[in-house]
Chain A
């Protein structure tokens, strides 16, 4: 089995083509005829309400799900083919972190480098500590995931992805469970990575600020379909009422559906 190349592809990154992707779980259709292209080096943000299929779409791109029909190609490689991971180094930051509970923070970060024998222990230590410092986690390297808060777990997951020096960066809700300051830091990290490495990135998020600040383009998914794809400028002042309502929801406390709550409270 071959191992991905040692350096971050010497600046090489990849485009992604999603063609007529449909995914069904039993009788439920989660994704329906999704098609779009991401150019190499682009930061593409996928937004949408909960349950719209964003994370499932990301899993297809990461090769963790098999499509019912259609396909995802990373460069010319089929994302669902396990051999693709021998050719392309991709890092996925999971929503819940997905840290290895039996390993310390340090070992979580070092695992990829050790398993692929990319550096000696001194090299691994240098890279792990650098990533931990970027995420302000240098004091937590001995801790185990069970000892970390939700936000710290998320930061460790991002640090683990950074250590991999990926050619394709996938983020699943990177700012959920984080306080506004840490959310801003994550925005900066994603933005900095975009500037410095020009790595293709896909960010699945609900976070309007994150989406508008890091995206080259934004896709809005509604009920398993792409509703719109546009630039942050187009999403900042949308003419489409669906986009406008999703990004700037009107809070109406006199909405008739809250009457039921009032009645319930009075009883």
Chain B
């Protein structure tokens, strides 16, 4: 019962942080420099790892499906399978997991250390709301960067699948056939649904990580504990939200 109350309390506290942050949206143009900095940190610095990860996810997916489908002559559908899986599910989820581990942890560590070393208290006494200066630019940046990263990730995954299909001897499907199958059964909605999912995941990750960072109490040891808590919470949240968003979009 006590734990349930604590969970409800945390959810309420996250919602309050969101409401307070949304109240500062009109000041976003003044935060343009911070917004660009965050876009760089969230988007540009995550790009190499997103491309590598999704390229190999697409490759493995093509390899596994080629191996399984060979037995009942369904190889011509590998492009469709890889295309749909990456666009609707694996692309947004894997990019979100990566952002949780890479960006979410960094956000929590930075805000938690600002809290522990009283920088947040200094902002409050200077009448500079941390929500305006620290949370808003990060939320805005993740909303912009998440669909871009996911789209790039999906395309990289498709390319990885195409490459494997062409050069693996037991699959041997050329790129033209692979992409023709991918196009035949795919709709723009499949991609926009995936991007929408990524948007929801990214927003939730940054909001939760900011909340945990800003509510850190204690010393340096608690900074580490907050980072762990933020990453674990984000991962659980991604999977839980994935179910509900998928159900809503179907």
Q: Which residues of A contact B (CB under 8 A)?
A: 3-4, 59, 62-64, 85-86, 89-92, 94, 96, 98-101, 111-112, 115-116, 164
Contact = CB atoms under 8 A, between A and B. Distances in A.
A100 B115 CA distance: 11
Contact of A91 (B113, B124, B125): B125
Interface in B73-129: 113-114, 117-119, 121-122, 124-128
A92 B118 CA distance: 11
A164 B123 CA distance: 12
B230 to A, nearest CB: 19
Contact of A90 (B118, B119, B125): B125
A94 B124 contact: no
Nearest to A102: B110
A98 B127 contact: no
Interface centre among A92, A94, A115 (most CB of B within 10 A): A115
Interface string B51-82: 00000000000000000000000000000000
Nearest to A86: B127
A115 B33 CA distance: 13
Interface centre among B117, B119, B122 (most CB of A within 10 A): B122
Shortest beta-carbon contacts, A-B, top 10: A98-B118, A98-B122, A85-B127, A92-B125, A115-B128, A112-B126, A94-B118, A64-B121, A62-B125, A100-B119
B218 to A, nearest CB: 12
A89 B127 contact: yes
B122 A94 contact: yes
A86 B125 CA distance: 10
B124 A63 contact: yes
B133 interface: yes
A85 B118 contact: no
A86 B127 CA distance: 7
B6 to A, nearest CB: 15
Nearest to A100: B119
B128 A112 contact: yes
Contact of B133 (A59, A64, A115): A115
Contacts of A86: 127
Contacts of B128: 111-112, 115-116
Contact of B126 (A96, A99, A101, A111): A111
18 contacts: A3-B127, A4-B127, A62-B121, A64-B121, A64-B124, A85-B124, A91-B125, A92-B121, A94-B118, A94-B122, A98-B118, A98-B122, A101-B113, A111-B128, A115-B126, A115-B128, A115-B133, A164-B126
Contact of A85 (B119, B121, B125): B125
Nearest to A103: B119
Contacts of B118: 94, 96, 98
Contacts of B125: 62-64, 85, 90-92
B121 A98 contact: yes
Given A98-B117, A115-B133, A92 B127 contact: no
A100 B126 CA distance: 12
Contacts of B119: 98-101
Interface centre among A4, A90, A98 (most CB of B within 10 A): A98
Interface string B187-210: 000000000000000000000000
A62 B124 CA distance: 9
Contacts of B117: 96, 98, 101
A55 to B, nearest CB: 11
A89 to B, nearest CB: 7
A63 B124 CA distance: 9
Contacts of A85: 124-125, 127
A43 to B, nearest CB: 19
Interface string B126-162: 1110000100000000000000000000000000000
Contacts of A98: 117-119, 121-122
A100 B122 CA distance: 9
Contacts of A112: 126, 128
Given A101-B113, A101-B119, A115-B133, 11 more contacts: A59-B121, A64-B121, A85-B125, A91-B126, A94-B118, A98-B118, A99-B119, A111-B128, A112-B128, A115-B126, A115-B128
Nearest to A65: B121
